Amino acid sequence: MLELYKQVFESSYDGVAIRDADGYGIAINKAACRITSYPESEFVGGNIKDALKKGIINDSITLAVIKHKKPVTKVMHIRGSDVLITGSPIKNEKGQVTHVVLIIRDIAELNKLKIDQILSLALKMKHHHKDNMKIHEEIPVYPDIIAKSPEFRKILAICAKIAQVDTTILIHGESGTGKEVLLNFIHRLSKRANEPLIKVNCAAIPPNLLESELFGYEKGAFTGADSRGKPGLFEQANGGTIFLDEIGDMPLDLQVKLLRVLQEFEITRIGGRKSIRVNVRVVSATNKNLEQLVNEGRFRQDLFYRLNIIPITIPPLRERVEDIAPLAYHFLQKTNKKYGLTKRFGDDTIQLFEDYKWPGNIREMENLIERLVVTIDHDDIQWSDLPFLHSPENPHQRTLKKTLQDLEKKIILEKLREFKTTRKTAEVLGISQSSLVKKLQRLK
C-alpha cells in the first residue's frame, strides 16, 4: 500500500508538497519541483522561514494553515512563476496541526488569468485547465527545457509531433535562442533517440576541410590524408540524426553535394568512386535569412526548399518575457550547484532582467549569471551588480508615467488576446468599450 501511495504522489499532474508543523519540508513530488523550480534537495529538510528570509517565496501558506487550522488558498510568486497553492492541515486526535499538504498549480499553465480575477472566473479557469492538461500531455518535460511562454510552448508542441517522422527540419533564430536545445528535444523524442546525434558547425570548419569532414575520404585522397581513409560525419550519423548548424555559411559547391544526400541519401567520399547509402535525418539551423541569401545568389534555392520542409522559428528572449524569470532561477540554481555556492537574487533583480532586451538571448543570460555568482562578494545579486544598468537602457531611468503606460499596454493586450473582442475585454477590465478602443488607438 505504501508503494501505491508513492506512485500516486509522483504521478499527480498537480504539484504536491508536505511540510510539518515546524515548517520543515517532508516531501515534494516532481510536478511541484517543475512548477516552482524548487529542487527536492533544497525543499526536503529546509525550513519555510529560511525560504522567506532568502526571498525564495513572498508569503507562506504553511504558516497561515498552522495559524488558522483550516485550508488556505493563495496566489504566490515563487522563483519567477505565479502559482496557485492550496494548503490543507492534517490534524491529530487533539485537533493539533501536525502536517500541511500543499497542492500547487502553475497559473500560466491553467489559463493566464491575473491574480485579481482568479476567483471571479473560477469556472472559466476550470475549462482552461482541461485544455492545458492536453497541452501538457503533448509536451514531455526535460530538465533543460524552460517553457512558460505560450510562444515557446507552441513550438515544443510542434516539435513533439514532428519528432516522430523523419522529415527535414530548418530551425531559425538569433544566436543564443536555444536552437541546439530544441534539436536535442527533437532527437530524444524521435525513433532515432538511441542512435547517433552528430553536430556540425558549418561556420567553425574551414571551407577546404568541411567536405572531407562531412563526406569522408579514401586512402591517398590528398596529401596528409590518413592512410586508412576516414568515414565522414554523414556515415558516422548513419541511423541517427545529423545537425548542420550555421547552414547559411556552407560553401556553394558543398551545397550541391548536400542536396544529393537529401534527394538520394547517398554520399561519395573524396577520392572514392562508389556511392555509400546513408540513413540519416537532417536538421539544420541558421541565424541568417536564407531567402535573402537565395536572392543574392549565395544559397541554392533548390537546397533551401529541401531544408525548409518544416521551418521552426524560435522567438528571441525579449519576446518570451514569461520565460525570463524561470530561466534566471534555473541558471542561478545550476551555477550555485556547480560551484557549491548559495547566491540569490535581490528584490529588484528579476524585474530588471525582464526589462532588459537580452541581445545575446539565453546564452547571454547564462553567462552573465555565472559571472555574477563567481565574482560578487555578497550573497544577494543586486541591481548595482548588473553591468547593463549603466547603459542608456537602464530600466530605473524610466519615468513613472512611462512605466505605468507600459504596464497598462501589457495588461490590455494580454486580455484582448484572451477574450478576443473589445466588448468582453472592456467588461473584464471594468471600463467602457469606447474607452478601451481609445486606449488601443493611443497605444498603436
2-127 and 317-397 have identical folds = no
User: What is the fold, at CATH topology level, of the domain defined by 150-313?
Assistant: Rossmann fold (3.40.50)
Q: Where are the domains of the chain?
A: 2-127, 150-313, 317-397, 400-443
From 134, 185, 181, select the one nearest 159 (Cα to Cα): 185
Whole-model pTM?
A: 0.62
Question: Measured in Å, how far apart are the chain's first and last C-alpha atoms?
Answer: 61
Write the pLDDT tens digit of every residue in 273-306: 899 999 999 999 999 999 999 999 999 999 999 9
- Give me the average pLDDT of each 10-residue run along the chain (444 residues): 76 89 91 85 87 76 89 79 86 91 78 39 39 41 70 89 93 95 93 95 92 87 70 95 97 94 92 91 97 95 95 94 88 88 82 87 93 89 70 48 68 81 84 81 70
Question: SS3 string of the chain?
Answer: CHHHHHHHHHHCCCEEEEEECCCEEEEECHHHHHHHCCCHHHHECCEHHHHHHHCCCCCCHHHHHHHHCCCEEEEEEECCEEEEEEEEEEECCCCCEEEEEEEEEEHHHHCCCCHHHCCCCHHHHHHHHHHHHHHHHHCCCCCCCCCCCHHHHHHHHHHHHHCCCCCCEEEECCCCCCHHHHHHHHHHHCCCCCCCEEEEECCCCCHHHHHHHHHEECCCCCCCCCCCCEECHHHHCCCCEEEEECHHHCCHHHHHHHHHHHHHCEECCECCCCCEECCCEEEEEECCCHHHHHHCCCCCHHHHHHHCCEEEECCCHHHCHHHHHHHHHHHHHHHHHHHCCCCEECCCHHHHHHHCCCCCHHHHHHHHHHHHHHHCCCCEECHHHCHHHHCCCCHHHCCHHHHHHHHHHHHHHHHHHHHCCHHHHHHHHCCCHHHHHHHHHHHC
317-397 adopts what CATH topology? Helicase, Ruva Protein; domain 3 (1.10.8)
CATH 3.30.450.20 is the classification of domain 2-127 = yes
Mean pLDDT (the chain) is: 83
**Quick one: pLDDT at residue 403?**
58
- In sequence order, which residues have a C-beta less than 8 Å from that of residue 123 and are 6 or more positions away? none
* Per-residue confidence (pLDDT) for residue 106, from 0 to 100: 78
Q: At what angle do helices 422-429 and 400-419 cross, to 10 degrees?
A: 130
